[in-house]
Amino acid sequence: MRKYYLIIAAIFLSSLTSFAQSDKKMFELGDEAMQNGHYTSAIYYYSLVINKLAGGTSTEYMPFETVTFYKKPEKQEDGSIKPPENPGKKEILAINKLADAYREAKDYKNAVVWYKSAMEHRLDEFPYVQYFYAVSLMKSDQFEEAIPEFQGVVTELNNEEHPISKKAQSRIISCEFALNPNNTEEGIAVAEMDSLINSGSTSFGFRRLQNDIFVFSSARKRKVDSVQMALDEMDQFDKEFEKALGDGKKKKKEEYNPILDPLYMLDIYEVRSVTAGQFEEPKRAKENLSMPFIHEADLTMSEDGRTAYFTRMDPMDHRITKIYVSRNFNGQWMKPMALDSNVNKKGFRSMNPTLSSDGKTLYFASNRPGGEGGMDIWYTSINDDGVTSAPQNLGTNINTLEDEISPFYDNTSKSIFFSSEGHIGFGGFDVYVATWNPDTDWFKKAKNMSAPINTSKDDAYYYLDAKTGIAYLSSDRNKCEHCDEDTLDIGGNCYKVYMVSMPNIEFALEGTVYDEITMLPIPNPVITIKDIRGNRDVITLRGDENGFYSMKLEANWELYIRAQDEPQEYWAKSDFAYTLGLAESTKIVKDFYLPKADGGEIAIEGIEYDFDSANLRPKSIEILDQLYRDWIEPNPSFKIEISSHTDYRGSDTYNMTLSQARAQSVVDYLTKTYNVSTERLVAQGYGETKPAEIETENGEIITLTEEYIKKTLQTYKEREEAHQKNRRTAFAVIEKF
């Protein structure tokens, strides 16, 4: 059997441990390993209590997690480790702890076995064994078996608002989602990249850095000319490492053993693209971006190439995970500095930085307080001096009670891709996308990217390369290659980088133009389509005799659409259409209902002025903004009168003066704010001379004259409502250019 050396203190010490040591000590070591995120070390110690695992050890590395291998113990037919048949008190405690350790180490096959044993030997200090048993079944592709276990959790808790009950209910929906064949996208190909990228014990986070240079994180053998050179490196970086971690703890160099086994230390690598999907030999990133003795990953860089952000993690204590920044000066990367407490809150983890295109917004994952639960996706603004703002949580459209990690913001589609364990999905981490909604000025509800991008295993670090259209994905879906027949895989799988080829996606826009009153189609309407970004020529379409129009669209378009009849007898109407972030073929339907342009005045509902004044109130500003977007902007060939009216109370002169001033204040706002020509807008005050008209229930048209109000309306409330209708601001077409 091949042998590996160890790089973390817990396992280093375990090689010196014998079965003569007390069970209490093994529990203590296992608990400490669990607390520090060394789950597979915990498996080793808890197993010693049961006296089932012994002998040589070796380690593998996953993203921010160590995975350990041991000699074969007694197995069952499916290859899983066999729990004791008649466990004693200490063994029952070890069984429950082992189940948790296997689950955290993502060895779900063994987790299922040990949770099943724990179900038979329940302990009060492990109240959610059945829930985690069901989770492990789900993450082992046993969806049908997991559903009744989740249902049992809900029944046992008998409280639908309990957090675990909520999670169980959500997991049931996820199992049903995974079993539904409609949630597999046809035409998507997911292929593991070659050994240039997937070398060593793990590779993940593949993305374009700049021009033809890509970057990713990997744990693999580092090339050194001699052992002495490596020893010199250790001396050089020893103090830097201790200071960079910033936790005040003394570290012994021999605890890390990077020379003996650098295969398990994460570094950042750069690789040059030859052609789309083809790459040269990767090279370790330059000094200060990738240092010995520290786990580093998630490199993201500003577009000018002068500022880099990345994650560093203490290999001894995974809770110490921070985001660092380094700046390039005269071709040299400066000493990295941890970002301030707005990002790296003391006592909590921050990782997975990704930048917006302008370099002013940093998205990252953190388990800091104030989120939805576990790791959440946050964002912060960064100014030119590197000062960050108070972070904002992306909310429940993206974050859940479970973990969300590895955000990637795609500037082209204005979408954020991330991985989550809490949204409806296939189990483990699934990749989701949340597209930007311009109407709400926020991200839409996250959508599962479906199979084969997602599996029951962990799928994360999704990145879509805008230049080639190729996506890259990191996943532990396939068995790790670093096992042999004499070792037992206790983490199951390692992260590798996969290339995702998307199918041909088609987008179409279509709709029909109708008369708003008759609901009959308007023949041969003119449809004008403009690119909001101004990167494409204006497109003009002619609808058919039934008012129908259609055209093909391209990906990542933001369109302004205007519908108008040819004789311009109707008001033109407008709308927007987007293909931003759409990952599947989509038909966008935009129907228009046009009102007659000669149909008289149209009241502007909700306009308010200060008392006895022409000053517009804030609410009126919002209404006038909408008036411009919906009516004035789409109709540049109409000359529009803005009219203001009063009720009959007050003198004729006063009412006429006030109404003229109020109409003028509306015109002044629209012309100044939107640069509308004064030739297109006319202010006209009518005082009390044009009372409003209303339609009764039997269809009779009534004019709200002074005589009608005084003689017909009996109550104060009725008269006040009539006065309010007369006190109106309206608009109408008075000329066509």
Give CATH for domain 507-594.
Answer: 2.60.40.10
Backbone angles phi, psi at 178, to 5 degrees: -65, -30
b/e 589-604 (16+ beta carbons within 10 angstroms → b): ebebebeebeeebeeb
pLDDT of residue 713: 92
Ranges for all domains in the chain classified under CATH 2.60.40.10: 507-594
- Decide: helix, strand or coil at residue 620: helix
Q: What residues have CB less than 8 Å from 536, skipping those under 6 apart? A: none
pLDDT of residue 157: 93
Listed as ranges, residues in the chain with pLDDT below 50 are 1-20, 52-62, 65-72, 225-226, 237, 240-241, 244-245, 247-261, 482-492
SS3 642: strand
d(CA 403, CA 385): 31
Give the global pTM: 0.66
Q: Do residues 645 and 730 lie in contact, with contact meaning Cβ atoms separated by under 8 Å?
A: yes
Q: What is the pLDDT of residue 362?
A: 95
Under DSSP, the state recorded for 612 is T
The CATH classification of domain 195-496, taken from the options 1.20.950, 2.115.10, 3.90.105, 2.60.40: 2.115.10
Q: Is the torsion defined by CA of 523, 526, 531, 536 positive or negative? A: positive
The CA-to-CA distance between both ends of the chain, in Å, stands at: 89
Q: What pLDDT sits at residue 310?
A: 95
Give the model's pLDDT for residue 256. Answer: 38
Q: What is the pLDDT of residue 80?
A: 67
- Locate CATH 3.30.1330.60 in the chain: 602-736
Question: What pLDDT does residue 277 have?
Answer: 78
Cβ–Cβ under 8 Å, residues 375 and 429 = no
pLDDT value at residue 222: 63
Residue intervals of the chain classified under CATH 1.25.40.10 are: 9-183
pLDDT for position 235: 56
- Secondary structure (DSSP) of 459-478: EEEEEE-TTT--EEEEE--S
> Which tens digits make up the pLDDT trace of 518-563?
999 999 999 999 998 788 899 999 999 999 999 999 877 889 999 9
Of the candidate CATH numbers 3.30.1330.60, 3.30.930.10, 1.10.3720.10, 3.90.226.10, the domain formed by 602-736 belongs to: 3.30.1330.60
**Number of H helices and number of E strands within the chain?**
14, 40
Tokens of 555: 């990906």
Give CATH 2.115.10 domain extents, the chain: 195-496
The CATH number of 9-183 is 1.25.40.10
* Pairing mode of beta strands 693-695, 447-448: unpaired
CA dist., res. 604 & res. 585, Å (int): 40
- The predicted pLDDT at position 611 comes to 66
